[in-house]
Amino acid sequence: MARHLITSAIPYINGIKHLGNLIGSQLPADLYARYLRARGHEVLFLCATDEHGTPAELAAAKAGKPVAEYCAEMHAVQAEIAKGFRLSFDHFGRSSSPQNHTLTQHFAGVLADRGLIKEVSETQMYSPTDGRYLPDRYIEGTCPNCGFESARGDQCDNCTKQLDPVDLINPHSTISGATDLEMRETKHLYLRQSAMKDQIEAWIDSKTDWPILTTSIAKKWLTDGDGLQDRGITRDLDWGVAVKRGTEDWPGMEGKVFYVWFDAPIEYIACAQEWEEAGKGTDWERWWRTDKGADDVRYTQFMGKDNVPFHTLSFPVTILGSGEPWKLVDYIKSFNYLNYEGGQFSTSRGRGVFMDQALEILPPDYWRWWLLSHAPESSDAEFTWENFQTSVNKDLADVLGNFASRVTKFCRSKFSEAVPSGGTMGPREDQLIADLTTRLSDYQSQMEHLEVRKAAAALRALWVLGNEYLQEVAPWTTIKTDPEQAAMQTRLGLNLIRLYGVLSAPFIPDASAQLLADLNASDAQWPDDIAAALSALPEGHAFTVPEVTFRKITDDERADWQTRFSGIRS
C-alpha cells in the first residue's frame, strides 16, 4: 500500500465556478483519489478556497458585504456544491485560515534569512479617482504579447503570459473604470526567483514523466526573454496575510499584505494542518515534511494550464529556497480549457453551465461522466449540448444502465429476485473472462498514468463486453431449451453488474453505490481476479431490481437547456 498526497488547484472565492473550472482540477483529482482508495492506498486529498487578493475584495464590494463575511459565506457555498458533485476531499480548507497566515509569514522569514527576498522601490499604478494604489487585478488592459483586450495586471488569460500592470496597453481601473492612472513610488518585496533558476531548471528537467503541457509551459517561462524573473510578493491591500518576517514586523512594509499567489499554494500545506486540527486525521507532518516520513509519499497536483507557471516555478522556489525538508510535488497533471458551444463560459453574460445550475438539472454522475470522458488533456475541448445528450444516452443509459436493467428484470421474471443456480461456464465464458482481464489491465494502467479520457474509454469497453456477451448468449432464448444454462448466463450477468459497480465508482459514485446496494453487495472490493469476481454473488443471494440507473435526455430538454444557457437574453 502506497501513500498518496493529492491537491487540486484551489478555486477563487469570488463566485460559483463553471464546468470548465470543475474539469480543470477538482474533478480529475477526485477521480484519482477515489481510484487509489479503491485499490487500498492511503490517500490525503486536499483542497481549499483561495480567499485573498483583489478577486475577494472586488466580489465582496459588489455584494455589499465585508470581505471576511463574504468569504465565509462563499466558502460554505463552494463546499456544499463540492459535496453535490461528490468531490471526496479529506478536507476543504480556507487560505484565510490562521494556519496559512502563520505558515506564509514563516516562509517569508526563512526566505529572507537565506537572501531570497529583496526590497524594491518601484513605481506602481495609482488611481486618483479611486484614491489608492491599484494592485494587479484592479487593472485591466490590452496584452502587449497577444493583443487580448481583457488582460489582467498579473497575467493574460488568453496567452498565459505573466505581466505587470505597467506592461498593459490602455490600462484602466476595474473599480471605477478610470483611465487617468499615474505611476507613484512605493516599496515592495520581491522573491529572487532568478537566483534559483538553475536549481528549478534541473528539477523540472528531472521530471521526464510529466505531461508535455506541464513541462512545455514551465520551460517556456524559464527560457523566454531573460528567463526566470524576480517576482513581487507584496501588494497594497487591506485583505490578506499581513507582511511579517516570521513573527516579527517588517519595517517599511506596514499596511501591506502578501501577494495572493505567494500565500495560496502554501495553503496546500496549511490545509493539512487544518485537517488535523479539525480532528479528521493525525500527524500532518508525515505528509508534508520529509524528515517526518513524507519521503515515501507520492504527491500529485491537478490544475488548469493557467496555473502551471506558479506551481512549476514560484511555489517550488518557495519550497526549495526555504532549505527546509518540505515535500515537493512528484507529478503535475495539467489541463487545457473547456469551452462552451463555440465560445467561452461567461459569468457576466450568463453563458454556459455553472456548477450549481448543473446540479439543478441532473444528478452529478451525468456531469462527472461527460466531463471526465471529454477531459481537455491534449487540447482544448468543447461542451455542446448535442454531444452531452449523445454521450449520456449512449454510454450511461444504453450501455451500462440498460445492461443492469435487462439482467435483473429477466432474472426476476424467469427465476426470482435471487441469484439462480445451475449450469456451468464454457468456452464463451472463458473468453469473456480473458477479455475482461485484458480490459481491466488497460483501465488500471490508464488510471495510474492519469490518462483520464483513455481511462473512461477503457471503462466503457468493460461495459460493452458485458452487453456483447448478453446479446450473443441471449438467455431469454436459451431458457426455452436449456434453463440451467440460462441460469448460469444470468448469474454471470448479475456478477458483471457487481463488477461494474466497483470499477465505475471513481467515475460515477452515486450510480455505482446504488447498483451495489440493490445487489446487496455494498462491501464489494476492487477485484484481484476476474474469474473470482464473476462468482462473487453466491447462488440464492437476494437482490432488488434497480430503478432506472440513468434516464435518457430528450430532444426537448436539450433544446431548452441550449437556449437557457446561451447567454442570449430575450
Residue 170 has phi, psi (to 5 degrees) of 50, 55
Q: Which amino acid is at 503?
A: L
Main-chain phi, psi angles of 42, to 5 degrees: -90, 125
**Residue 208, marked binder:** no
**CA-to-CA distance for 539 and 151, rounded, in angstroms?**
65
Separation in Å, CA 300 to CA 423, 450, 451, 528:
48, 10, 14, 25
The 3-state DSSP class for residue 168 equals coil
5's enclosing H/E stretch is strand 3-8
Report the side by side order of strands in the sheet with 169-173. 151-152, 139-142, 169-173
Residue with cell 453487495: 521
Q: Is 411 annotated as a binding residue?
A: no
What is the distance between the alpha carbons of residues 196 and 490, in angstroms, rounded to a whole number? Answer: 64
Nearest CA among 203, 161, 167, 154 for reference residue 315:
203
- The reply, when asked if residue 146 is annotated as ligand binding, is yes
**From the CB of residue 540, how many other CB atoms can be counted at a distance below 10 Å?**
10
Cβ(384)–Cβ(44) under 8 Å?
Answer: no
Distance in angstroms (rounded) separating the CA atoms of residues 530 and 438: 10
C-alpha cell at 437: 482481464
Measure CA of the first residue to CA of the last residue in the chain; give whole Å: 57
Q: What is the DSSP letter of 400?
A: I
Task: Tell me: is residue 159 an annotated ligand-binding position.
Answer: yes
* Cα within 13 Å of Cα(541), Cβ side: 19
CB 234 within 8 A of CB 263: no
- CA 119 to CA 375: how far, in whole Å? 43
Residue pair 452/31 in contact (Cβ under 8 Å)? The answer is yes
Strand pairing class (257-258; 234-235): antiparallel
Q: Is 156 annotated as a binding residue?
A: yes
The number of C-alpha atoms within 13 Å of 78 and in the hemisphere containing its C-beta is 28
Please enumerate, by residue number, every residue annotated as part of a binding site. 143, 146, 156, 159, 347
Feature table: binding site for ATP: 347
Known binding positions for Zn(2+): 143, 146, 156, 159
